[in-house]
Every structure is written in C-alpha cells, then in structure tokens.
Structure 1
C-alpha cells in the first residue's frame, strides 16, 4: 500500500557550511547583483536563499520572528502533545477489545 509519503522524494538539507557560504556571498554581493542570480549560481532556489537570509536575521535579532532554536522547541512540544493525545485512544481500543470476549 503505497502512501503519498513514500512517493515523495525529500531532499537532504544543505550542509551548514554551504548555507553559511551562500548567505555570505549574498550579503556581500556587488550592487546590481540579485539574490536570484546568486541562488542560481549556487544551485539553490531563490526562495530557499531568501528563507535562509530571513532566518539568519531573526536568529541575529535584527528582524522580528521566531528563532531557529525556539522553533525546535516548539516542534518537540507539539510532538509530546500529539503523543499524549493519541495514547489514550490507543489504550481505549485495547481495553474495548478485551470486553468483547
């Protein structure tokens, strides 16, 4: 039974050093050179580079938003909440099976 998740190729994240180098080139670009040109030259999608630049500004505190480390905490909390919500339903199904015999 092939689900959608099995059919979608998820790209590997770019290495941190590569992202840092591309962002440095984008920030130090000459006048008239666009972020799109740099992204194309480096083999990344322009929106990806814009996202990296925006998140770096947020992490540096120069732009409002949720820092990368805060996002990781939010993901962990959401995962815990999901497991707490689904655990009782699993227990209920186990106990209800025992009542049938």
Structure 2
C-alpha cells in the first residue's frame, strides 16, 4: 500500500455498462483441475426464433470484471457464427449462474 492510497481499490473497479447486442445463452462449460473455466458450446435463440448452436469456441482471453458492482467473468472469444468467423464476448455472472453473449 502506498502513502497516498494509490491502487487500494484497484481490484473492485467497475467495467461500466455492457455495450452491444445481448443474448441470454445456455453454455456448456468445462472446468480444469485448477478450477478455471472454459466455455465449450453455446446455445441461444436467434432473432428469427430459431435455436442456434455455437461450437468450437476459441477463448482469446478471460478476465474478472464488475458490471454495476456485480462480479462477472468475461471471455473474449471467436467462433464461426452464421458461416462467418466473429469475435464476441461471453459473460458469466456466478451469483446468478447466468450467461450472456454480447456481439
């Protein structure tokens, strides 16, 4: 801890508001022996009402964040969606056991 308190509350910073199109998703997630999680498959209802599945998800980076004070784990991912390779975010809210995909 420094004299002026710089860095005291750095671990509780707020990531702000989630931007982009948001979809509530079901996620099949694998946990390693060290308790780190890896999203494997995502299913969601598309804008046309059809259930869509995303497989072969590549996690680029994951980070613990807070959105409006709510703890979450954010995964920056890429996968083929609708025949096109796209980057997207998967956000897991552990307290609610809820997944959100942001495109």
Identify the TM-score tier after normalising by the shorter chain. Answer: under 0.3
By percentage of residues, which structure has more strand?
Answer: 2
Structure with the larger RCO, 1 or 2 (CA within 8 Å, 6+ apart):
2
Report the TM-score when normalising by structure 1: 0.25
* Greater per-residue helix proportion: 1
Highest CA radius of gyration, 1 or 2?
Answer: 1
